């Protein structure tokens, strides 16, 4: 079974409903209107769904998005999962997390687990964020399919906006530049990725360190950024809260999002590290 976040689920659910109602391809703006969110965010979700084989797209004035035959079945069997993290590595996913004895000396979290956590018994893990914004920190005491974690602290992630924790005004590359000027930046600043923007400041790609090094190994110093960059980078609007950023990262298996303003111009970057740093400074509930 494929597991995805509630934000991806919501977009797929509305897409199926609109398609069944009109039996015609659905525009991303119609999904955005139904959910009350930015169209650019919807397009990110649709890209994830397309990569999962649940959505196809049709070009042209009468085009849009169409759910595949797997989509309806997937909706009926969907179970939400949240990451289980140890030492910054995702070691599994938790389903149906339930808090037990929250007012006792040793509160517990019970959950079903995807992945083998046997070797992590007695180790500290972080679970979440849960859909309600809570992050559980504790020690695994049972690691079967039905796992138990002894909770040592609970952190609540506030609904602060992405712009409050992003890195603003990042270094950018232009698509027609050669890659040579950026090699020094990657080495000295230890960047993992540099956004690529068009003449209007809108992100169109990511120049990744791994791809750059691969090109250098082939002695192609005259290669253009547009020939090396990863196209259609994942974006999020600056006014979205960090819960949405977390869900998008988990759903897409990505570590960074390019942050854009209401006119889709690049204004910053938010990374998994930014979010984890934010979580580490929050007040604990227990």
Q: How many domains does the chain have?
A: 3
Q: What digits encode the pLDDT tens for the residues 139-149?
A: 999 998 789 99
Domain end point (choices 76, 93, 112)? 76
Q: What digits encode the pLDDT tens for the residues 174-232?
A: 999 988 888 878 888 888 889 999 999 999 999 988 888 888 777 777 889 998 898 88
Residues 6 or more apart in contact with residue 259 via CB below 8 angstroms: 162, 163, 166, 235, 236, 237, 238, 266, 267, 268, 269, 270
Domain end point (choices 76, 97, 126)? 76
Q: Is residue 56 part of a domain?
A: yes
Preceding omega of 129 cis (within 30 degrees of 0) = yes
Q: Which of 217, 207, 214, 166 is nearest to 185 (CA)?
A: 207
Q: What is the CATH number of the domain that holds 181?
A: 3.10.580.10
Q: What digits encode the pLDDT tens for the residues 51-71?
A: 777 899 888 778 899 988 777
Domain that holds residue 194: 162-284
Measured CA to CA, the distance from residue 276 to residue 273 in angstroms comes to 5
Q: Name the CA radius of gyration of the chain, rounded.
A: 21
Domain end point (choices 110, 125, 156)? 156
């Amino acid at each position: 079974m494929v597991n995805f976040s509630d934000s991806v689920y919501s977009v797929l659910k509305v897409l199926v409903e609109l398609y069944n109602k009109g039996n015609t391809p659905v525009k991303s703006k119609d999904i955005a209107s139904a959910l009350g969110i930015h169209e650019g965010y919807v397009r990110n979700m649709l890209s994830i769904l397309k990569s999962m084989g649940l959505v196809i797209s049709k070009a042209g004035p009468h085009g849009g998005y169409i759910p595949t035959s797997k989509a309806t079945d997937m909706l009926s069997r969907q179970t939400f999962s949240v990451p289980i993290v140890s030492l910054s590595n995702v070691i599994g996913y938790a389903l149906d997390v339930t808090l037990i004895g929250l007012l006792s000396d040793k509160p517990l979290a019970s959950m079903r687990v995807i992945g083998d956590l046997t070797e992590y018994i007695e180790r500290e893990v972080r679970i979440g964020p849960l859909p309600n914004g809570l992050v559980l920190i504790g020690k695994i005491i049972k690691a079967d399919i039905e796992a138990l974690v002894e909770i040592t602290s609970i952190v609540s992630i506030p609904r602060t906006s992405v712009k409050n924790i992003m890195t603003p005004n990042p270094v950018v590359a232009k698509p027609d530049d050669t890659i040579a000027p950026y090699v020094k930046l990657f080495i000295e600043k230890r960047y993992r990725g540099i956004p690529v923007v068009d003449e209007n400041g809108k992100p169109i790609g990511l120049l990744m360190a791994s791809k750059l090094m691969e090109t250098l190994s082939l002695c192609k110093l005259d290669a253009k950024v547009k020939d090396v960059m990863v196209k259609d980078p994942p974006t999020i609007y600056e006014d979205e809260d960090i819960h949405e950023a977390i869900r998008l990262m988990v759903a897409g298996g990505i570590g960074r999002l390019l942050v854009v303003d209401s006119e889709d111009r690049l204004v910053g970057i938010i990374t998994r590290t930014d979010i984890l740093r934010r979580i580490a400074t929050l007040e604990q509930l227990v």
